[in-house]
Structure 1
Amino acid sequence: MGLPQRLILTLLSIYLYSATVVNTQQEFKIQSVELIIEPRNDVTAGTNVTLRCHATVSTSTGKGLIREYTILKNDKIVYTKTIGSSEDFVYQLHNARVFSTGLYQCKLDIQGDTKLSKAQRLNVQGLSQPVLHLNTNVVNEGEEVQATCIAPGEIGSFIFFFFDNDEQISRVEGLSNQAKTTFRLSGADIHKIHCSYKIRTAEDTFPSTKSNNVTVSVKELSITPELKIFPDSTIYEGDHLNISCSAKNVHSSSEGYKLFLSQGTKLLRTGNSTINHNMVAVPKASEALTFDCRVVVRNVEKYSEKKISVVELFSVPSLTMSPTEVFQGQIMTLTCNSDGFASQRINREDLEYTLYPSKNLPSSGKPGVFNVKALQNDFNYTCSAEAKGIKKDSKTLMIRPKVHVSALKISIEDKVILKKSFTILCQSNGSLPINYTLFKDNVQVGTKVIREQNRQAVFMDVINEPGERQYRCEAKNSLHSNKTGSSQHLSVNVIVPLSQMTLAVIPSSLKISEGKELNFICSVNGTGPVTFKWYRTGSVVPLQTNTTTETYSNLEIKPVSKNDSDEYYCEASNGANKVRSENVNVQVFMAPWKKGLIVVACLLLLLLLVLLLVASMLNIKSKRVKVDRAEVSVWSKRKPETESDDEISEVSNEPNVEYTEVVHARSTDPARVPLRKGTDTVYSELQNSPNGAADPPDYGSVEYAELNREQFEISQYDPQVHSYQDLPEPVD
């Protein structure tokens, strides 16, 4: 490296270092980044396209910053560049191609701060026409041809296609704008070869137009296959065939050829020279035998084909049964027979028939006829016919023995009500179809045919007269079957709807005394069993429920009480309908003995009230005190003097009592009041406390009143007569 170059590098380093120092000292803000496609977003192929990245950056010093621009296409980096100026960054797409189509963005990075522009789409339309070159224009069949297809000026991911008369013969993929391939042409003719290509982008695939046509002349090979079959006249089944396959006009240029002999899709032999094959002629159903001799040279195939018809020696046997329907254990006849045979070669007696399986088969004496007993389950038979060493098998005959009708049952689904339709069901086991016939009293009612498993025969009938009816079912597997099954007889009792309901009461009078017995008898017209229910009006719970075969029933209440007074009714049902009686109002009165008892009780109560009233009046009269006197005397009892021990003992058991005597003066009018002895005296007893002081009484004062009915005279009153000498004199 020379001195000038070193000097330049040194100065550039100093400049970049200084710029870096300056950048670290100033602040900035990336305001916006915009990508502009020039001249426009949609251009044709070959146009020069400019991607302009314009950024707006604000700085604190106004000095330049180191900026790193990145161009992205479909989110992948296309180009990156660092500049130190604020000018727009420009990226050139010279001679733009379809591969340049996509979404472009511009990213700006300043000291780690980045901003991305909005995406802009560039559409480049039009691909250049491909150019085809071949290494030769004249070839022999099977020789290789080398072709080159070029997409001038195009870039990207390519898929090239090569065509022979519009039929694709090769495909090549790659990143180069040209592709080479080799191929062989067969068939002596003029071939027109052309090519085309497609460019794949991330979003789509763009096809080109066709290239120029190049004509190739192909010369036919002289080698040809030869196929021979012996005999070549009428061929019968079982004849031996001799088949040969070879190649003619073989030259030195035909080295490496190979022969293939086939019958239809079956390859019989292969070889490098003449092929011989021997076989027995076997006819193919409705088709002739096809043989193919094919020679292959350098991927060129030539073939010769022949078809021969083989006359069938005898037809494929068929196996049939008689009768066509059999039941388990029934003897049937199986017949194995070939309808046609070649009378020029064999007689009918030459055919031998065999039945499989052939265990314990009784002989019928006729060729191909076998007597077989039907098994309990399904079973299969086949037969074979053989003549001149040729054996043919029939198709398999599947025999499904039928099951006779058994376990025939009859039932009724609904209740049988007079003059209403009801359902009768018949069902049995056995093979379908099953024919059912219904009889009523040995008279046929109808027939049904059941063709599905687990289905019942459904009959409808109506009985218009009361009484018992007999039903039965008959069934057989088909109308022509000679075995018929019959069910047991089903007895049907007709239910007559209930009517004319009556409700009777015993006793007949609806007024009854307590303690008596009350009976309700409810009766209807119809057939049983009948369920009777008894109700009191207003209640949904029956008093009694009774089911009986009779057409009447009763409800007994004993003994009745006053609470049994109410309205009663009954309901009856027998499965056909329900009827209700009218309401019966029952009134229960009180028993006579209760009435007498109440009268006696009332009289006794009245007498008691009278006595209580009299006693009350007497009590009130005794308490009433008439004060007619003008003077009232009051005595206070003194403390008792010393008495004998006996008296003290008697006194100690009683509390200290003070007595006050009030003497009421009576009128001395002899004309009004008769003269009586004695006085009327009222005593008030006051109980003293044990300490001698008078305490207030706990329950008030107890007043003793002694009333003397004898009239006394005031002039004859003597205080001493009452033995109260120690009491003080009465004070007015």
Structure 2
Amino acid sequence: MWTKRYSEILLMTFMSITCTRAESEFELRDVTLHIIPANTVERNSELNLTCEVNVVSRGGNTPDLKISIFKNYNNHNPVYINNTRSNKVTYTIAKAQASHSGIYQCDVSAGNQHLYSSEENINVTGLQTPELRVDKLKVTEGEKVRVTCSAREESGVLEYTFKNGLKVIYKESSSSGVVQRFHSLTSTETAKFSCSYSIHVGNGVLHSSVSNEVHVVVEELKFTAKITILPSTEVIEGDSVYITCDVEGINKNSSVLSLSKGSRLLPRNYSTVVLANDSGVYECRAKVNSAERNAYKNLTVKELFSTPVLTITPAEVFEKESFNVTCRSSKIASERIGHDDVKYFIYRSNKMISSDNGIYKTMAKNETNGNYTCTAQVNNTIKWSQWITFTAKVLVSKPTITVLNEVILNKPFRIECRSDRGSLPISYTLKQNHTTLSHVQVSNPSQKAVFTTSIQSIQQISEFKCEAQNNGVNSAQTSDTLRAQVTVPVGKPNLITVPVEQDITENQQLQFLCGIPEGASSPITFKWYKEKNLSPVYVTTVNFTNAEYTILSVEGSHSGSFYCAALNKAGKEEVSNHVNVSVRMARWKKGLITGVCLMLVTGIVFAFVIRYRAMRVKVASSNGAGIWSVRPPVLDSSEVVDVDEPEEPNVEYTEVLHPQNSDPARVPLRKGTDTVYSEVQSTSPEFHDEF
């Protein structure tokens, strides 16, 4: 199996090497661009750009190559392309011009291989001096001359500039090497034509020398414009006037004539019945080719009658008041007409309301509002006055009086007076019990009549009224009495407990009653606090002047100092007195604790007695048979320990009992103040039986 696997690996390796060699029949190593004779040459020099490719191939054969030479990085638009098997190609520029300047590169491709040469910068110095020609050296004023500027030896896009003296008269871009321009000569001065060009090379611009200068003589064209105004240049409104524009010294058919007044173009032969606004300067213009002549005359038109003036009196009119509309012309040409010859017509909203005498009287109301104008007329001459917009002023309506914020006793609050109708300005007055407190004048729609005041009792809120007027005292209107809810701040609250005793026993119910003086506005919020806690232990809102906080079953943790606070919409929180609460322990707990303590003391005493007696009786020797270590129990009252009386010191004895004669030797022992005698006892069995 290993031999088979090894054979497969060798076969794959061989195939890989074979394929690689098949794909690499040749290789493009590098590309070089040669510039001959040099990168910088004079104009009209011959330039040879040679692209040489270094190719390595099997058998020494050169593959099919695509070689191109491009300029200024524009490889999509090459200046030279050659498909060849040669590794060297040459692009020749027979006469190099400035337009040939730039950055050149070679692009070589074969198969899937591609190479670029390095960049070579070619600079061609010097530009051809352009040549200027004209088709005429002598022309008449307004005649056109053809001017030609050529630089045929240059290639590329050239931008030509034509001048007459120092003034630039034309610019044009062209790649043909020649530009022609027809130019009209309107001045009688001798024209001095010249030209030049520029060419863009890389990031710069090259400018040529100025061409030869050609002089063209311009002869004046003999003609003049003529304007005529008949019957005279000074006339009166209503007169007929004839104005004509003409040319002299040349055939009319070869000229163009125009008549104008300011920016208004008129017919060449113009007639009209003039008005005062026809006064002014009229111009006649005659144009032959490009030559032009002008003539001017001033026409003065005297008013037959002046423009009427419309007036409305009085200047301010309230509804139901009379007013007059008058239309009059202040000046007339008395040599032509009299005052009675002028007819007047008054219009309101384009509808005639009065004729002939120019006077209109009526009473102001909604129907008389509108835009007024009038006309003055003599025969066919009509003049309009200016427009006047008339609106009858509206008398102020009964004002309303309202408060703008919460009314709190003894605190400032704001009152607004407002009338729904009435022409501005309106004067508002705030009064309290017919006493004037303050004035406000409202002059624009966004302004409000607002007053600031305060009250010391609830009854005072109904003492306020306001007055509005916009046309003197006779237009005064008084509002109704002010109606508003008054908020009375809370007084200082008082805190008591139920039961009243401040010493409370555990598990009892305890009530905290918080009350404030009568008269405060509801709803009222009551809060109860304990000691220095910032958060209340209980909060309630009621419509009464008192409230309670109840603890159903007090505990020891409820001991401490309590106080309450009260507030309403007035916003100020009032704090009560402090009440100290002391919670006593329940009686059954006291009894239980006392019993437990007594049992504990009794147990301790009992244990102490047992321990004490056990230490008194000890066996003096290792054969201590028959020796009492403690006194035998005796069931009488002398053995009861009285904890209330002091115990007297006892003399303890250790008694030896035996049926035989005892050993007279006895050894006394001392322990504290007691004397203990230890006697040697017999350890016979009879002792134990008797004991």
Cα offset, 1:115, TM superposition? 1.7
Query: Percent of pairs identical after alignment?
Result: 30
Q: Is the 8 A contact 1:146 1:182 kept in 2?
A: yes
Alignment-derived partner of residue 276 in structure 2: 283
2:68 is the counterpart of 1:70: yes
176-185 vs 119-128, greater mean Cα deviation = 119-128
Cα offset, 1:133, TM superposition? 0.6
Alignment-derived partner of residue 395 in structure 1: 386
What is the CA–CA distance in structure 2 between the aligned matches of 1:468 and 1:25, rounded to whole Å? 113
Alignment-derived partner of residue 225 in structure 2: 225
> Which amino acid in the other structure matches residue 93 of structure 1?
I
Alignment-derived partner of residue 576 in structure 2: 581
How has the CA–CA distance of structure 1 residues 197 and 514 changed in structure 2, closer, same or farther, with 3 Å as cutoff?
closer
Q: Is the 8 A contact 2:159 2:197 kept in 1?
A: yes
TM-score by length of 1: 0.65
Q: Is the 8 A contact 2:286 2:292 kept in 1?
A: yes
Residue 472 of structure 1: which of 465, 489, 493 is its match?
465
What is the CA–CA distance in structure 2 between the aligned matches of 1:44 and 1:465, rounded to whole Å? 112
Alignment-derived partner of residue 197 in structure 2: 197
Cα offset, 1:377, TM superposition? 9.5
Q: Is the 8 A contact 1:264 1:291 kept in 2?
A: yes
Secondary structure of residue in 1 paired with 2:406: coil
Alignment-derived partner of residue 379 in structure 1: 370
> Which amino acid in the other structure matches residue 338 of structure 1?
S
Residue pairs, 1:24-423, within 5 angstroms? 27-37=25-35, 45-46=43-44, 48-62=46-60, 67-73=65-71, 74-75=74-75, 76-81=77-82, 86=87, 89-110=89-110, 113-124=113-124, 127-167=127-167, 169-170=169-170, 173-199=173-199, 208-250=208-250, 256-270=254-268, 276-284=269-277, 288-328=279-319, 330-357=321-348, 367-371=358-362, 373-375=364-366, 379-406=370-397, 408-423=399-414
How has the CA–CA distance of structure 1 residues 268 and 26 changed in structure 2, closer, same or farther, with 3 Å as cutoff?
closer
2:438 is the counterpart of 1:446: yes
What is the CA–CA distance in structure 2 between the aligned matches of 1:399 and 1:477, rounded to whole Å? 18
How has the CA–CA distance of structure 1 residues 420 and 220 changed in structure 2, closer, same or farther, with 3 Å as cutoff?
same
Residue 547 of structure 1: which of 543, 546, 552 is its match?
543
> Which amino acid in the other structure matches residue 229 of structure 2?
I
What is the CA–CA distance in structure 1 between the aligned matches of 2:426 and 2:163, rounded to whole Å? 72
Deviations 1:74-109 (A, max 9, x none): 33121123565555x443334433322344221124
Cα offset, 1:459, TM superposition? 2.3
Deviations 1:562-588 (A, max 9, x none): 559967654322433222323546789
Alignment-derived partner of residue 617 in structure 1: none
Deviations 1:423-446 (A, max 9, x none): 222333244443332223332222
Secondary structure of residue in 1 paired with 2:493: strand
What is the CA–CA distance in structure 2 between the aligned matches of 1:247 and 1:212, rounded to whole Å? 40
Cα offset, 1:177, TM superposition? 0.6
Alignment-derived partner of residue 648 in structure 1: none
Cα offset, 1:390, TM superposition? 1.1
Deviations 1:632-666 (A, max 9, x none): xxxxxxxxxxxxxxxxxxxxxxxxxxxxxxxxxxx
What is the CA–CA distance in structure 2 between the aligned matches of 1:411 and 1:517, rounded to whole Å? 50
RMSD, aligned α-carbons: 4.4
Q: Is the 8 A contact 1:172 1:181 kept in 2?
A: no
How has the CA–CA distance of structure 1 residues 402 and 25 changed in structure 2, closer, same or farther, with 3 Å as cutoff?
closer
> Which amino acid in the other structure matches residue 183 of structure 2?
F
Residue pairs, 1:437-586, within 5 angstroms? 437-463=429-455, 468-469=460-461, 470-477=463-470, 482-490=474-482, 497-504=489-496, 508-509=500-501, 522-525=514-517, 527-530=519-522, 531=524, 533=526, 535=528, 537=530, 540=536, 542=538, 545-548=541-544, 552-553=545-546, 555=548, 562=553, 569-576=563-570, 577-584=572-579
Q: Is the 8 A contact 2:507 2:554 kept in 1?
A: no
What is the CA–CA distance in structure 2 between the aligned matches of 1:497 and 1:196, rounded to whole Å? 99
How has the CA–CA distance of structure 1 residues 324 and 91 changed in structure 2, closer, same or farther, with 3 Å as cutoff?
same
Deviations 1:56-77 (A, max 9, x none): 3333445656654311123312
Cα offset, 1:235, TM superposition? 1.7
- Structure whose CA Rg is larger: 1
What is the CA–CA distance in structure 1 between the aligned matches of 2:289 and 2:539, rounded to whole Å? 113
Q: Is the 8 A contact 1:224 1:302 kept in 2?
A: yes
Q: Is the 8 A contact 2:506 2:554 kept in 1?
A: no
What is the CA–CA distance in structure 2 between the aligned matches of 1:208 and 1:377, rounded to whole Å? 81
How has the CA–CA distance of structure 1 residues 407 and 523 changed in structure 2, closer, same or farther, with 3 Å as cutoff?
same
> Which amino acid in the other structure matches residue 566 of structure 2?
A
Secondary structure of residue in 2 paired with 1:56: strand
Task: Point out where structure 1 has 5 or more consecutive residues left out of the alignment.
Answer: 1-23, 271-275, 599-732
Secondary structure of residue in 2 paired with 1:406: coil
> Which amino acid in the other structure matches residue 96 of structure 1?
A
Secondary structure of residue in 2 paired with 1:423: strand
Q: Is the 8 A contact 1:536 1:543 kept in 2?
A: no
Task: Point out where structure 2 has 5 or more consecutive residues left out of the alignment.
Answer: 1-21, 592-691
Q: Is the 8 A contact 2:162 2:170 kept in 1?
A: yes
What is the CA–CA distance in structure 2 between the aligned matches of 1:496 and 1:112, rounded to whole Å? 100
Q: Is the 8 A contact 1:362 1:370 kept in 2?
A: no
Q: Is the 8 A contact 2:377 2:383 kept in 1?
A: yes
What is the CA–CA distance in structure 1 between the aligned matches of 2:187 and 2:249, rounded to whole Å? 17
Residue pairs, 1:710-725, within 5 angstroms? none
Cα offset, 1:204, TM superposition? 7.6
Q: Is the 8 A contact 1:519 1:554 kept in 2?
A: no
How has the CA–CA distance of structure 1 residues 127 and 411 changed in structure 2, closer, same or farther, with 3 Å as cutoff?
farther
Q: Is the 8 A contact 2:235 2:302 kept in 1?
A: yes
What is the CA–CA distance in structure 2 between the aligned matches of 1:348 and 1:432, rounded to whole Å? 41
TM-score by length of 2: 0.68
What is the CA–CA distance in structure 2 between the aligned matches of 1:169 and 1:143, rounded to whole Å? 16
Cα offset, 1:119, TM superposition? 4.1
Secondary structure of residue in 2 paired with 1:572: strand
> Which amino acid in the other structure matches residue 254 of structure 2?
G
Q: Is the 8 A contact 2:233 2:300 kept in 1?
A: no
How has the CA–CA distance of structure 1 residues 233 and 466 changed in structure 2, closer, same or farther, with 3 Å as cutoff?
closer
Q: Is the 8 A contact 2:425 2:442 kept in 1?
A: yes
What is the CA–CA distance in structure 2 between the aligned matches of 1:588 and 1:165, rounded to whole Å? 120
